[in-house]
Amino acid sequence: MNTGKSALVHGYEVVIGFETHAQLSTRSKIFSRASTAFGAEPNTQACAVDLALPGTLPVMNRGAVERAIEFGLAVGSHIAPRSIFARKNYFYPDLPKGYQISQFEIPVVQGGRVEFFLEDEKRSVRLVRAHLEEDAGKSLHEDFVGQTGIDLNRAGTPLLEIVTEPDMRSSAEAVAYAKELHKIVTWIGICDGNMQEGSFRCDANVSVRKPGAPLGTRREIKNLNSFKFMQQAIDFEVRWQIERIEDGHAIKQATVLFNPDTGETRAMRSKEDAADYRYFPDPDLPPLVIADEWVQRVRDAMTELPRVMAQRFQAEYGLSEYDATVLTQSRAMAAYFEAAAKASGQPKLASNWIMGEVARRLNAGEIDIAESPVSALQLAQLILRIADGTISNNAAKQVLDALWNREDGDVDQLILSKGLKQLNDSDALAKIVDTVLAGNPKNVEEYKGGNGKALNALVGQIMKASQGKANPQQVNELLRKKMG
Ligand code: ADP
Ligand code: MG
């Protein structure tokens, strides 16, 4: 599998660009008042406009525009003060108008970038544009023998199509981009991100070339609706293209589908050119005019963005850029960290524990942090007891396990009932140290003779004698003092 940014596959560079359809979370459709709710009986949520009955006219949904503006602001794009709706003409049974209303020459969102970490390397993918368009209906093949059903409930659902430059260089980077984009749209709340229901669908354009050569011919893998399939599909497609080229064939531009059952991509149709769609401005819709004041109002009402929050975490809590980015993977994660950091006054410990022990337990149980059995405040209690020396790191893990399993008692009660309190009493410690020193004259000799390792052996003895409860730092100090 190819990971890092510039990893070559059999001497070829992989080039990937994404087109993502994010369904906007409006209650009604983009140009009609019909509901967008998922899962209704077929054709119960398609009104006269969605059915393209003669004489009906589209009316722009303000909420959809507002969500497009929010997205543009989140990724640093230019919001076009005046953009144009266009008709994309094609015939398909699930498209009763015979055209899809989209944006072509002048989209509402222009430029911008999506930034993320790949492993721990910072990556940035440039966006070309994001434009508003309506979704088509659905053809139903199951339940029909020798026939196809048409469900127009989805017709007219608002979509934002987000298009990147061909900036990605591996399947791993493509998946990392898609995850970051998913995080952004769900974070700002413009899309519910439900991939199974088709609210977030990615088309991956994939080509390969020898390093330094011009871009190769791409094939477009349509409708990837899981991150796992995305990676599999791209990896298969890359291998397929390289084999074709190595066998002396040229790649032909095509649209392909991924079959999760076989793990293969297969050509669906040869690719249409923009000219085939005969785009022209839709005479039924006036230009979309967005005044600066509107953009400003949207900006003022927006929630703190992940990358802004990550910067604040660095400045306010002294976190590294990497830690701050991981802790802003979701709003729930960020809220959990901030609550634990504030309540404990120990942001560094909070970040280490959340990214380490807590994350590990969440992953193992496939639990979202919002459903964590240990609350941020409980974690803060635990961290306080580590910070004030009451318990060691290892003991803290045992307390965390107990909390995780919802054992009775709060942090302090669990420390007591499990006898995990660290021995900080210097008199008691001194006694143990003396006993161990008296019982191990050989180690003492060696240490005095300059063998540093002998100290470790003594510390080990003392930890054992104290049943692991001695404060290791104090033990070290005592030992050095006593042995001069
Ligand atoms: P179209 O108009 O046919 O959809 P675009 O030029 O808009 O084509 O590109 C669609 C997507 O394909 C974009 O995300 C772009 O980055 C990507 N892309 C373009 N050329 C290549 C290429 N040679 N290899 C991989 N991706 C590409
Ligand atoms: Mg396109």
Dump pLDDT digits (tens) for 86-118: 999 999 999 999 999 999 999 999 999 999 989
Indicate the SS3 state at residue 115.
strand
Give nearest CA residue, ligand 1 atom 7. Answer: 163
Helices (H), 318-452: 321-327, 331-344, 347-353, 359-365, 376-387, 393-404, 411-417, 426-439, 441-448
Chain centroid to Cα 74, Å, comes to 15
pLDDT above 50 (res 2): no
Would you state the structure tokens that stand for residue 336, as one six-digit string? Answer: 């959990």
Query: For ligand 1, is residue 164 a contact (CB within 6 Å)?
Result: yes
Query: For ligand 1, is residue 129 a contact (CB within 6 Å)?
Result: no
Which structural domains are found in the chain, ordered by start? 13-295 (no CATH), 304-417 (no CATH), 426-483 (1.10.10.410)
Provide the pLDDT for residue 132. 98
**Per residue in 341-371, pLDDT tens?**
999 999 999 999 999 999 999 999 999 999 9
Q: Which of 208, 218, 270, 272 to mutate to test the pocket of ligand 1 (most atoms within 8 A of CB)?
A: 218
Strands 219-224 and 254-259: parallel
Provide the pLDDT for residue 73. 97
> For the whole model, what pTM was predicted?
0.82
Contact 62, 103 (CB under 8 A): no
Provide the pLDDT for residue 269. 75
Provide the pLDDT for residue 471. 82
Average pLDDT over residues 307-317: 95
Give nearest CA residue, ligand 1 atom 19. Answer: 166
